[in-house]
Amino acid sequence: MSRTPLHGLKVVEFAGLAPGPFAGLILADWGASVTRVDRVDQTTSTDILCRGKRSLAVNPKVPDGRDLLLKLISDADVLIDPFRPGVLEKLGLGPDVFLGKNGLNSRLVYARLSGFTRTGEYKDMAGHDINYLALTGVLSMLPGPDGKPGFPLNILADFAGGGLMCAQGILLALLSRSSTGKGQVVHSDMVSGARYISSFPLLHSLVKSPFFGDGSERSANILDGGAPFYNVYTCKDGKFMSVGCLEPQFFAVFIENFVKALPKEFTSFQGGWQPTLESRTDRDTWPELRSFLERGFKTKSRDEWARVFYGTDACAVPVLTPAEAAQASSPLPAPHPELLQTPALPLPSTARHAKASLNLKPGHHTEEILMELGLTAEQRKILDTSGALGGEAKARL
């Protein structure tokens, strides 16, 4: 089997919330050796993005613990810092220690991931995905109930703008290092990252295109739920179908198959109104078209409608639940994209193994990692008695 693209890469990931662990997961999936640094007072972890990682539990506030981390990071290729600005500096582990003049590791890629931008009025405030998204301009454009914007779980800022953009920055810095021989600091934040990910709608709002208008009016444009032919509809069984027939040729296929599948009594119940190909561009008829589709989809179950459109260019497919989507592919979302010559590491082969991969006990690999760093039994004992590995510091006799 070919080596994975990141084979031999050593990554130190300080334990944090979702975005940092996701950046580490991406690197681990492609073969990097990722060591998560956990707190010594943790016995369990809520981090489920730990596949392929190891855990070292250490107290950086104890001098011996900080020295251990200095040694670990000095031997690493990448450091993932998920904390607010200044936290690692206070611990004596800031970027200047490694990348400054006479630094300990000039090849280190020091990746810093924050929520708000690192400068500005919000930089020292706590926040979460919805707060970061609020500052991008994108949240105001998203359709939602009761006239207020909705939000796509915590995907857009945390994972797309945060973890994914951080991983991209790491890979770019590693690529640069291959020619310069030097590491660097990578600054990523979820506000800026989510704005970059959202370039398409934000740029369209600048030119006031029909896809999003100028961004000031939600659910009134083609891609924000305003168009009846780009939306989600409830079926007879309470499940859903997605419709996205934007182009005229796809709209024609959709309407033909939809009308043909309706019960005979449906057209008379509707007063005889039926959509035409012109309904796609005639906004005055969109309310009638929306009502027609809403009522029509409720005449059959989701799976019945899925069979109607299967194999066609109607751009209409069922909305699957997480369990259904897993059945169609695998229990875990697979690493992507697919590299044919140097693929990612294989996923666990069974659902039981997949669930087991979601749990990494803090400190589970501490002894193993200490031995890999070349620490003798006596040195490991000193770490233990000093409290660097947890517990009360013990007097050295």
CA distance 340 to 372: 32
Compute the residue count for the chain: 397
At 118, list the tokens.
Answer: 């690192």
Measured N-to-C along each axis, helices 165-180 and 190-197 cross at an angle, to the nearest 10 degrees, of 100
Residue 46 burial (CB < 10 Å; 0-12/13-18/19+)? exposed
Check if the beta carbon of residue 347 is closer than 8 Å to that of residue 326. Answer: no
Rounded to a whole number of angstroms, the CA Rg of the chain reads 26
At 56, list the tokens.
Answer: 């070292």
Q: Which residues contact 96 (CB under 8 A, 6 or more apart)?
A: 103
Query: Strand, helix or coil at 273?
Result: coil
Strand pairing partners for 28? none
H or E element that contains 13? strand 10-14
> Residues 64, 77, 81, 158: which is the catalytic one?
158
Check if the beta carbon of residue 112 is closer than 8 Å to that of residue 188. Answer: yes
Query: Strand, helix or coil at 66?
Result: helix
Mark whether 67 is an active-site residue: no
Residues with a catalytic annotation lie at 158
